[in-house]
A and B are shown apart, each in its own frame.
Chain A
């Protein structure tokens, strides 16, 4: 029933894998330090965005299930500011690569998409037809 924490855990695991790959690249290829540094900061920002989104979704689900009106919004501005902070710290403060930072920011999103597609495919493999015998 509680699928969101499991999905978030898997997304975090993939993001940490990319973080470790970035650290390895930082050490092995010193000439590309701006690229790997920007990528690392982007992945950290993307991970923070994913955690914040999951927290907001759980709160929204609790409020909807209890029949209450949600008090706060969805927090897009907070997530946008996290992305902006990652970009500004990466490019202005540490002088890393902007494109690598943007690529790092979308790593958790892409991991979420891939895991979601895999989970849906497994679900449809387990239940190939519905109660009327139709294939999805």
Chain B
């Protein structure tokens, strides 16, 4: 039973972090690119990035909490 809990924790956080890593990388690369091209649009680009990253990161943070609870159970 313990090995299954560890496996579940690894899968839930691994897949969550994989998706968040790809999503964060895309969002921040485009944000930095946009700010470098047009610094006067910094406020709008930061706000859009904040909305996107807030959504992308909600899932892996919850999956991390779940993973540690699986491991402890």
Residues of chain A at the chain B interface (Cβ within 8 Å): 1-4, 7-8, 49-50, 53-54, 57-58, 60-61, 64-65, 67, 74, 76, 79-80, 82-84, 86-88, 91-92, 98, 101-102, 105-106, 108-109, 112-113, 116, 119
In Å, the complex CA distance between A105 and B28 comes to: 22
In Å, the complex CA distance between A87 and B60 comes to: 13
Residues of A within 8 A of B57 (CB): 49, 53, 76, 79, 109
Give B70 Cβ to nearest chain A Cβ, in Å: 11
| A7/B65 contact (C-beta < 8 A), A50-B54, A57-B53 known | no
Q: Is there contact, CB below 8 Å, between A54 and B50?
A: yes
Residues of B within 8 A of A4 (CB): 43, 46-47, 50
Q: Is there contact, CB below 8 Å, between A74 and B65?
A: no
Give B72 Cβ to nearest chain A Cβ, in Å: 7
In Å, the complex CA distance between A102 and B61 comes to: 9
Q: Is there contact, CB below 8 Å, between A76 and B20?
A: yes
In Å, the complex CA distance between A57 and B50 comes to: 7
Question: 19 new A-B pairs (CB below 8 Å) besides A64-B42, A76-B20, A79-B61?
Answer: A3-B43, A3-B44, A7-B47, A64-B31, A65-B39, A76-B57, A83-B61, A84-B61, A87-B64, A87-B69, A88-B68, A105-B65, A106-B58, A109-B58, A112-B50, A112-B54, A112-B55, A113-B55, A116-B51
Residues of A within 8 A of B40 (CB): 1
| A74/B50 contact (C-beta < 8 A), A2-B43, A53-B57, A113-B55 known | no
Residues of A within 8 A of B49 (CB): 57
Q: Is there contact, CB below 8 Å, between B42 and A61?
A: yes
Residues of B within 8 A of A108 (CB): 54
Show 9 residue pairs from A and B whose CB-CB distance is below 8 angstroms, ordered by the A residue: A1-B42, A3-B47, A65-B36, A84-B64, A84-B65, A86-B65, A102-B65, A109-B55, A116-B51
Tell yes or no: B10 within 8 A of A by CB.
Answer: no
B15-51 residues with Cβ-Cβ distance < 8 A to A are 20, 24, 28, 31-32, 35-36, 39-40, 42-51
